[in-house]
């Protein structure tokens, strides 16, 4: 799924972007979005290993990096060592634009941009990155939720089976018994299930 992104680059001036991200799925999403917007992702690194060489090699216009990466300080150093190296994006924010940086920090994105890049293009890059990081965060949240639901489901099924086997109940009866227990005790179904499993296993050992 790709949102409509404004064209950041034209064929004649495609921005070169480097990604440093230890989450390959997120980097892939971001790379696609940037490519859709007309940028060229020249490299995707999962760590800062060999970062300096790759920057020298590709001369990216922008480097996008996860804010929680300890390798940010290495990029800071690079920007100080050489005027031409990309600089921390926070430098390019002004009063009108402070929300872009704040949004970026909240979404977990950080970036380093070469001097002289059009502020509009900088903002566009940041907007794409922020949108993709947020999307990834939401997807991860959903995945966590689904995993938990699946795990809960397994426990419910196990508890039901135990009740059916040892208490001679059919499935519907077992389910209702658990539901009643949950309501009477003010517990979640999954916690009732866990209790049943541990007691039943003890009982039947």
Partner 1 sequence: MTKNNVATSGLEQPNLKIGYMPLSDSLPLLVADEMGFFAREGLSVELQQEVSWANIRDKVLVGHLDAAQMLAPMLLATHLGIGGLRKPMQTAFAMGLNGNAFTISNNLAAELAATDIHDISGNAKQALDALKTVISQRKTENKPTLIFAIVFPFSIHNFLLRDWLASAGINPDSDVQLVVLPPSQMVDHLALQHIDGFFAGAPWNTVAIQRGVGECLVSGPDLWSNAPDKVLGTTQQWANDNPNTLNSMIRALYQACAWADANRDDAAKLLAKHIHLPVDAVQPALSGKFVYRKRQPATQVDDMLVFNRYHANYPWPEHGQWFLSQMQRWGWAADNLDNDAIVNECYATATYRAALADQALPPTSHQLRFDIQQAWELDDTAMGATGFKYR
Chain residues that interact with partner 1, rule: CB under 8 A: 52, 67-77, 79-81, 87-88, 90-91, 93, 98, 101-102, 105, 110
Q: What is the DSSP letter of 46?
A: S
CB of 72 to partner 1, least distance (A): 4
CB of 87 to partner 1, least distance (A): 7
Q: Which is nearer to partner 1, 57 or 73 (CB)?
A: 73
Q: Which is nearer to partner 1, 3 or 80 (CB)?
A: 80
Q: Which of 19, 52, 46, 11 is nearest to 129 (CA)?
A: 19
Q: How far is Cα 134 from Cα 109, in angstroms, rounded to an integer?
A: 9
Q: Which is nearer to partner 1, 90 or 197 (CB)?
A: 90
CB of 65 to partner 1, least distance (A): 10
Q: Which is nearer to partner 1, 67 or 155 (CB)?
A: 67
3-state DSSP assignment of residue 109: strand
**Contact of 111 with 126, CB cutoff 8 Å:** yes
CB of 203 to partner 1, least distance (A): 41
Sequence-distant (6+) residues with CB within 8 A of 72 are 65, 110
E strand segments, 46-189 = 62-66, 87-88, 109-113
């Amino acid at each position: 799924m790709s949102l409509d992104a404004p064209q950041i680059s034209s064929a004649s001036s495609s921005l070169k972007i480097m990604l440093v991200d230890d989450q390959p799925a997120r980097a892939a999403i971001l790379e696609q979005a940037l490519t859709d917007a007309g940028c060229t992702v020249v490299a995707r690194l999962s760590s800062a290993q060999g970062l300096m060489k790759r920057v020298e090699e590709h001369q990216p216009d922008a480097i996008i990096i996860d804010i929680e990466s300890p390798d940010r300080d290495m990029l800071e150093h690079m920007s100080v060592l050489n005027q031409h190296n990309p600089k921390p994006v926070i430098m390019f924010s002004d009063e009108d634009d402070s929300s872009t940086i704040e949004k970026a920090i909240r979404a977990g994105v950080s970036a380093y941009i070469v001097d002289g890049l059009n502020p509009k293009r900088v903002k566009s890059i940041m907007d794409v990155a922020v949108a993709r990081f947020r999307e990834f965060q939401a997807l991860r949240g959903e995945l966590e939720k689904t995993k938990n639901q699946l795990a809960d489901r397994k426990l419910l099924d196990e508890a039901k089976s135990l009740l059916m086997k040892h208490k001679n109940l059919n499935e519907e009866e077992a389910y209702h018994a658990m539901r009643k227990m949950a309501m009477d005790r003010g517990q979640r179904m999954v916690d009732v299930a866990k209790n049943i499993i541990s007691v039943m296993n003890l009982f039947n050992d």
